[in-house]
Amino acid sequence: MSTAPLMPKATAVWLVENTSLAFDQIADFCKLHPLEVKGIADGEVAAGIRGLDPITSGQLTREEIGRGERDPAHRLSLSVSKVKVPEVKRQRGPRYTPLSRRQDRPNAILWLVRNHPELKDAQVMRLVGTTKSTLKAVRERTHWNSAALAPMDPVTLGLCSQIDLDFEVNRAAKDRPAALEEQGQTLQPAEITTAPHHEPTTTEDVFGKRPAAPPVEEEDQFDADRVFGRLKTLDFDDD
């Protein structure tokens, strides 16, 4: 239960104008700052606000105001209303749609089907207040007015509130399985990542194969006896 009165500034204006309560008492009762109440008395704050009588509205009694006027230290207490207003419970099931807006439901259904395909049929029916047969007809393009349907936001049409739409979308997103990640580079096995680091020391380690050995040039070996022996076998002319 709220401890502040309804329309606190308007109540403070009435108390300043019609009672001799101290600024601190009015500020404490209306949940305002004492300087703000002083500004109301000086005409600097809430100049255009009409005072609200807390006695006729059942927020204060004349006896409580009298005790406050006699004792500046007395703190005013808000009167408890004898009328109990029943708590408004959230309606379950299909939402009631006024007759003037029922013709816009197929357009809203088409918008939800296109922009939020993750919503279940029960969620769409709850948001727009439609039937399963109408939802199926719009989804399968078998509605009698399919050619003239145009997707329209149900919030703009006044068929549901933005809070209700966000609630159903977030609820559907939680129920939807996580999308598979795109196939890309995967992590290497633990056997490779935990193996001791090996620095390549040879060309075979780097390229995976041993390169062909360069041809070894034969060293020039000069055998004098062999050379002169060949010369003796040659015939030379006397000239």
Q: What is the mean pLDDT of the chain?
A: 76
- Answer yes or no: is 105 within a domain: yes
Residue 104 sits in the same domain as residue 170: yes
Question: Is residue 202 in a domain?
Answer: no
Q: Is residue 164 one of the residues assigned to a domain?
A: yes
pTM of structure: 0.37
Q: Which of the listed residues 23, 54, 70 is the one where a domain comes to its end?
A: 70
Confidence of residue 111 (pLDDT cuts 50, 70, 90): very high
Query: Do 234 and 228 contact (CB within 8 A), yes or no?
Result: no
The answer to whether residues 171 and 134 belong to one domain is: yes
C-alpha 199/C-alpha 191 separation (Å) is: 17
Calculated CA dihedral for residues 117, 123, 127, 132, nearest 10 degrees: 90
171 shares a domain with 106: yes
User: Is 212 within the bounds of a domain?
Assistant: no
Where are any strands of DSSP class E within the chain?
A: none
Q: Which of 9-13, 78-82, 157-161 has the highest mean pLDDT?
A: 9-13
Residue 218 lies in a domain: no
What confidence tens digit (pLDDT) does each residue in 179-225 have? 434 444 455 655 666 666 555 555 555 455 555 555 555 545 556 66
Q: How many domains does the chain have?
A: 2
Is 82 among the domain residues?
Answer: no
> Which is nearest to 203 in space by CA: 194, 212, 216, 195?
212
Which residue, of 33, 52, 70, is where some domain finishes? 70
In angstroms, the CA 59 to CA 239 distance is 152
Q: Which two tokens stand for residue 99?
A: 């007759």
Average pLDDT over residues 38-62: 85
DSSP 38: H
Tell me, yes or no, whether 106 and 162 share the same domain.
yes
Residues above pLDDT 90, as percent of the chain: 17
Output the CA angle 194-202-210, nearest 5 degrees: 110
Q: Are residues 103 and 169 in the same domain?
A: yes
144 is a domain residue: yes
* Tokens 């255009």, residue located: 48
Domain of 126, in residue numbers: 99-175
pLDDT for 122-172, tens place per residue? Answer: 999 889 888 889 999 999 989 888 888 899 888 888 888 888 888 898 888
Asked if the structure places residue 1 within a domain, the reply is no
What's the start-to-end Cα distance of the chain, in Å? 143
The residue out of 152, 175, 198 marking a domain boundary is 175
